[in-house]
Amino acid sequence: MWSRLDVRASPYAFIAPFFLLFGVFGLFPLLYTVWVSLHDWSLIGGNEGWAGLDNYARLVTDPVFWNALYNTLGIFVLAVVPQLLLALLLADTLNRRIRFANLFRMTLILPYITSIAALAIVFSTLFGGEQFGLINQLLAAMGLEPIAWHGDRYAAWTAIAVMIDWRWTGYNALIYLAAMQSIPKDVYEAADLDGASRMRQFWQITIPLLRPTIVFTVIISTIGQMQLFTEPAIFDNSAGYGGGTQGQFQTVMMLVFEEVFTYQNYGYAAAVSWVLFLLVVLLGLLNTWLTSRIRGAE
């Protein structure tokens, strides 16, 4: 009797903690975001009544939201494109007979395991103002003009993209390396016999065969980068989440923080979050759709 109950009930008891905790702290907040976004909701007053789609209507016409979205997408493209190209080249470099292979592989993930906040502090110092920052001093030593890394929109994007790439290039290179090692050697041997150059082999064999892996890394990067927060928030030396004096590097996630903590406007912050969530899903689907189209065209 007891043992029969044990066999029937134990599996559910074993998986219950996961689903219970995920339900309360993962799924519920995500769904509840929709509910909050349909209300006027503040820190002190709590729920202050139904607002319908007001928050969304505001969002559509809010230049601050569009600015944040522009920054988020801009930094995303500026970071991800060179990052994945560099990662491919690095993986190709590592995919040969080398000494100290393990050391070099470990080097690749060193940035990935360090503290994001700590390194964002270090990098925003490296990209410091006119005379102090190491990078501007290096530019000066080469006879170039200093760059207003914090003041200028595209300079700030670049600095933030460098931080992101420092962290993630090696990680992606390892993923590519693994995929490259699973490509059969005779494919390359055949290409050698046909007299195809190394360059040609890289673009015509390696890259096409790696396509599923590349799509995987693009999707992972999209999910991560759409929620970009820590690097730009720390890069902004002033308190608050404005993203520079003109909001030149305020991301969508920073806007959510600004609405919550500076204006205590939970309803609007929830609307922005929910739109961001839909955007992540949309971009994920777009990626998948594009890949299947490219495949279909072949």
Partner 1 sequence: MRQATPLTYFALLLTLVLSVFPLWWMFVIATRTTTAASQFPPALLPGPNFGANIVRLFENPSANFTTGLLNSLIASTTVAVSVVFFCSLAGFALAKLNFKGRTVATVAVVVTMAVPVQIGLVPLLILMEWFGWRGELQSVIVPFMVSGFGVFMMRQYVTQTIPDELIEAARIDGCSTFRIYWSIVLPALRPAMVVLGLLTFMQTWNEFIWALAVLSPSNPTVQFSIQQLNESAYARDFALMFTGATFATLPLLIIFVVLGRQLVGRIMEGAIKA
Query: Between residue 137 and residue 176, which ones bind partner 1 under the rule CB under 8 A?
Result: 137-138, 141, 166, 170-171, 174-176
Indicate the SS3 state at residue 152.
coil
Residue 238 or 246 having the CB closest to partner 1 = 238
Residue 45 or 297 having the CB closest to partner 1 = 45
Which of 236, 268, 28 lies closest to 121, judged by CA? Answer: 236
Phi, psi (degrees; rounded to nearest 5) at 39: -130, 160
Binders of partner 1 among residues 180 to 199 (CB under 8 A) are: 182, 185
Candidates 53, 77, 85, 121; binder of partner 1 (CB under 8 A) is: 121
Spell out, one character per residue from 58 to 97, where the chain touches partner 1: x when CB under 8 A holds, - when not: --------------------------------x--xxxxx
Angle between helices 101-113 and 153-181 (to 10 degrees): 140
Half-sphere exposure of 69 (CA within 13 A, CB side): 15
Task: Determine the interface stretch with partner 1 among 50-58, 60-68, 77-85, 129-137 (rule: CB under 8 A).
Answer: 129-137
Binders of partner 1 among residues 257 to 276 (CB under 8 A) are: 257, 260-261, 266, 269-270, 273-274, 276
Candidates 66, 132, 154, 289; binder of partner 1 (CB under 8 A) is: 132
Task: Determine the interface stretch with partner 1 among 5-13, 59-67, 145-153, 289-297 (rule: CB under 8 A).
Answer: 5-13
- Taking the complex as a whole, the smallest distance from the CB of residue 137 to partner 1 amounts, in Å, to 4
- What is the SS3 string spanning 10-25? HHHHHHHHHHHHHHHH
Task: Determine the interface stretch with partner 1 among 28-36, 56-64, 69-77, 150-158 (rule: CB under 8 A).
Answer: 28-36
Which of 114, 105, 123 lies closest to 176, judged by CA? Answer: 105
Total chain residues near partner 1 (CB under 8 A): 100
Residue 73 or 119 having the CB closest to partner 1 = 119
Task: Determine the interface stretch with partner 1 among 30-38, 60-68, 77-85, 153-161 (rule: CB under 8 A).
Answer: 30-38
Candidates 74, 104, 152, 183; binder of partner 1 (CB under 8 A) is: 104
User: Measuring CA to CA, how many Å separate 182 from each of 19, 139, 187, 206, 290?
Assistant: 36, 42, 11, 11, 24
Indicate the SS3 state at residue 250.
coil
- Taking the complex as a whole, the smallest distance from the CB of residue 89 to partner 1 amounts, in Å, to 8
For 157, counting Cβ atoms within 10 Å of its Cβ (0-12 exposed, 13-18 middle, 19+ buried), the class is buried
The CA distance from 29 to 27, in Å, is: 6
Pair 190, 205: CB distance under 8 Å: no
